[in-house]
Amino acid sequence: MPCKTYKLFDPVSLKILCNTSSAEVFEPNSKHPQLFGNSPINYTTSQVSLPFMFKTTTEYGYIQCNDTIKDVFLKHVTNEYAKSNTEKMYSKLKNNYKTGSDSKPLTVVLFVIDSTSRKSLFRNLNKTVNFFNEEVVKDNSTFSEEFVLYDFLGSNAIRDFTRANMIPMLYGISLETAKMKEKKKSIDKEVDKHFYLKRQIERSVWYYFKKKGFMTMFMNDAVSDYLSEDLGREILVDHQVSNIWKIGKQFFGYDDMAEAHSCIGSSYAHNYSLDYLTEYLNDYKGLNKFAYVHVNTAHENTGMQLSISDRDYRNFFHKLLSSYTHKDENLFFIFMSDHGRYRKEYVTLEGYAEKALPFTIILSTKTLISSHNFHQTLSTNTKRLLSRYDIYKTLKNLAILPYTTITTTSLNYQEINTEFPSVSLLIEEIPKQRTCSDASIDENFCMSDKFSILNPSSNNSTILSFIQISISKINSILIKEISQYCNPLFFNDIKSLQLKKYVTKNEIPPLHYIIVISIKDSKSIFFIDATHSEAKFLKNDPELFKRFTKSKEKLERIGNNTYLSTINKIWSVTKLNIVDGDNVKKNFDIENDKGKCDEKVFYNYNYLWADGYEKCENVCGRYEMECTDPKYLHVFLEMWQGEFEKIDRVAGGSSLEVDDGRLFVGRVDMCSGIGDTIKKICYCVMVR
């Protein structure tokens, strides 16, 4: 639902435009310092006679014409004192480093969307992703000549909450170390204020940028106390934007943890962040600038809030790149999330992956990359395991770039210390052998660990039960949906058996199985995705695909919570054979088809042949299915590697294209991409 729009003030003069003789307003003054998080402040309005104008130096305010018509504004106002100091520092450092006249001012932005997995980015910000692909990445497109994009495929969250991921990026230390030093200090006690400010001076990326001659800005739309518990209320930057969100909470019920999308006055909350950032970058043209923006749009499970903001993000990036095109300034924009968010299937490995695998994208002007020869190192690092500490070191590396080239032996580089080993993504390759432990990633959220290969001749009763239930379910579907004359399927053998253990505090950890089976007298190969656990999980119904799902549950009541104390669940059944969708849908012939009914039905997940010029989203839609990125692609590739002359992983996309007997993986996006091969393989999911 769109926000109610009222034109209650002139955006230039800030004159109130109510059709009344008076209005209730709040205009901040020196008694209202910007305070991060849930600070104990109540904003008192006053009645003013109209006409009335806010001061031109006012960055935010509240207007209420009557009980139902009310709005807020937020605009950037130049900090002339900070601007003058930054200009002096910039000039001084250029002289100290003997910087050449060809040096350009640099803009660095760290923009974080909270709780957004990489998959969620593609699901819910598809217009934004398409803009990146079609207008930046694609050759000879609108922005391809000026800008370059790097998509980091090995981005893995440390844990599944914000503080554990952001403290390493902002301070270069772990959350555990930060909390240990905080002890029993309070961000609301005046006696403890010095501790938080001192730590910002010593560790924070924004204060480091400030010392290196950058304008600085901090914006986080939180009204709850979470990250603020480690950073403090006051942030040592030139522009701190915190109070507008508390205005939103007091007068409009804004909550950064809400499930529903929040309007603050006439606009969605995220638009205030995007507009203010745009104004900030434009108002300090010709100066070095750093901004950290954190948006909590995605704090809910459906993805609806994020999808509503898609067009706004797309438009923001278009304006941003347009403004930096042919501009005598460099841009380095880190667009990322801190962690993902569970969907319904929270017990599955896929559910864990949604939480553990955020996205990380870097957009930069090509002149910055080429002038320092960063491209090869950045490209290599997009395929390695990324650490949150790498972001910290990279940001501090960037603060030096307007003045001099930095190397791994430079004193400026060696002084950037992090609690865990790290590299600057610009000048140092991430070690190939880096482990989750090296990157401080909790073992329960480490997605780079491979499945263990088990003996396929296993007589494990749980595995055999999963197989029996799956085949029984398939047979019942064949009889119901195809014909009562269908020959039943019988299990032949296990072709592949793989296991991944979750690490939990429970005595018996959940076991996640990949079971690939063949069928007697049939070419069909099925992949069963299942979980077995005797751990305790909060009662939920995580059935995403009910067609094959089977559970054995024993409920246990502890206090106010109901737990599953035993769970055997089949999440999905995938047919690994690549099929022609039209053949599946051909009319059933009793005499000729009763022995191959398994070829006449679609399963939870399906691989379909398609023409290379067709989008897979259209191919899947033709058979009333949806396209998605391949699930457990390694299982498919392992099973059919002998069917292709060669399998080439050529890029970071998810497509499967076949050309002259070779399978090319990842040249374009699986669902929306159009390749240049004759044939492709689409991955379609049945969601009924």
pLDDT at 540 (0 to 100): 47
563 contact partners, CB below 8 Å, separation of at least 6:
536, 537, 538, 539, 555, 556, 557
Written as six digits, the tokens of 126 are: 């598809």
3 state SS of 432: coil
Residue 332 lies in a domain: yes
pLDDT (0 to 100) of residue 64: 95
Across 502-548, the runs of DSSP E, i.e. the strands, are: 511-519, 525-533, 537-538
In a domain, 8, yes or no: no
Return the pLDDT at 341.
80
DSSP run (H or E) holding 84: helix 80-96
Residue 256 reports pLDDT greater than 90: no
Same domain? 610 vs 573: no
Distance, in Å, from the CA atom of 400 to the CA atom of 389, rounded to the nearest integer, reads 18
Q: What is the pLDDT of residue 191?
A: 95
Residue 201 corresponds to which amino acid? I
Taking residues 174-188, what's their average pLDDT? 94
464 and 343 in a common domain? no
Residue 507 confidence (pLDDT): 44
Q: Say yes or no to pLDDT of 119 above 90.
A: no
Q: Note the pLDDT of residue 530.
A: 87
- 517 and 491 in a common domain: yes
User: In 122-159, which positions are buried (b, 16+ CB within 10 angstroms) versus exposed (e)?
Assistant: bbbbbebbebbbebbbeeeebbbebbbbbbbbbbbbbb
pLDDT-derived band at 364 (thresholds 50, 70, 90) equals very high
- Position 371 confidence tier, pLDDT thresholds 50, 70, 90: very high
Helix (H, G, I), strand (E, B) or coil at 579: strand
Amino acid 628: pLDDT: 84
Tell me the pLDDT of the chain averaged across its residues: 89
pLDDT value, residue 547: 37
pLDDT in tens, 499-542: 987 765 444 457 889 999 999 999 999 999 888 876 665 554 44
Which residues constitute the domain of residue 660? 604-688
Confidence of residue 642 (pLDDT cuts 50, 70, 90): confident
Q: Which residue has the tokens 């499945």?
A: 451
354 and 473 together in one domain: no
The pairs formed by 477-484 with CB atoms below 8 angstroms and a separation of 24 or more are: 477/547, 477/601, 478/597, 478/598, 478/600, 478/601, 481/601, 482/588, 482/597, 482/600, 482/601, 483/588, 483/590, 483/593, 483/594, 483/597
Domain assignment of residue 659, yes or no: yes
Q: Tell me the C-alpha distance between 165 and 406, whole Å.
A: 26
Cβ atoms within 10 Å, residue 406: 21
d(CA 118, CA 432): 22
Dig out the tokens for 445 from the structure: 């959220």
Once rounded to an integer, what is the mean pLDDT over residues 202-219?
Answer: 98
Q: Regarding beta strands 662-665 and 70-74, do their DSSP bridges make them parallel or antiparallel, or are they unpaired? A: unpaired
Residue 373 has pLDDT above 60, yes or no: yes
Asked whether residue 231 falls in the same domain as residue 360, the answer is yes
Say if residue 490 is in the same domain as residue 412. no
Q: Do 430 and 461 share a domain, yes or no? A: no
User: Does any domain span residue 29?
Assistant: no
Both 568 and 488 in one domain: the answer is yes
User: Which of 445, 477, 510 is the last residue before a domain boundary?
Assistant: 445
Among 399, 426, 445, the domain-final residue is 445
Confirm whether 47 is domain-assigned: no
- In the predicted model, is pLDDT for residue 556 greater than 70? no
The pLDDT of residue 508 is 47
Q: CATH number, domain at 357?
A: 3.40.720.10
- Choose one of 445, 471, 486: the last residue of a domain: 445
Position 506 scores a pLDDT of 45
CA distances from 307 to 116, 151, 278, 310, 311 (A): 11, 20, 21, 5, 8
Q: Are residues 177 and 190 in the same domain?
A: yes
pLDDT of residue 347: 53
pLDDT > 70: percent of the chain:
91
pLDDT at 678: 80
Q: Structural domain tally of the chain?
A: 3
**Tens-place pLDDT, residues 320-362:** 999 999 889 999 999 999 998 865 455 566 677 888 999 999 9
Give the pLDDT of residue 301.
66
Confirm whether 279 is domain-assigned. yes
pLDDT in tens, 588-624: 777 777 888 888 889 889 999 998 888 999 999 999 9
At 667 the pLDDT is 80
What tokens were used for 608?
């379909």
pLDDT score recorded for residue 563 = 64
Of residues 650 and 131, more confidence is placed in: 131
Express as a percent the part of the chain with pLDDT over 90.
Answer: 63
Q: Residue 402: its pLDDT value, please?
A: 95
The stretch 288-300 carries a mean pLDDT of 91
- What pLDDT does residue 534 have? 67
**514 in any annotated domain:** yes
457 neighbors 494 (Cβ within 8 angstroms):
yes
Tell me: the pLDDT tens digits for 437-491? 999 998 878 888 778 899 888 788 889 999 999 999 899 888 888 788 888 999 9
What pLDDT band is residue 40 in, cutting at 50, 70 and 90? confident
Query: Position of tokens 């009335």?
Result: 52
Note whether 570 and 680 are same-domain residues. Answer: no
Q: 240 and 331: one domain?
A: yes
**Do 416 and 463 fall within a single domain?**
no
> Is residue 348 in some structural domain?
yes
pLDDT tens for residues 419-439?
999 999 999 999 999 999 999
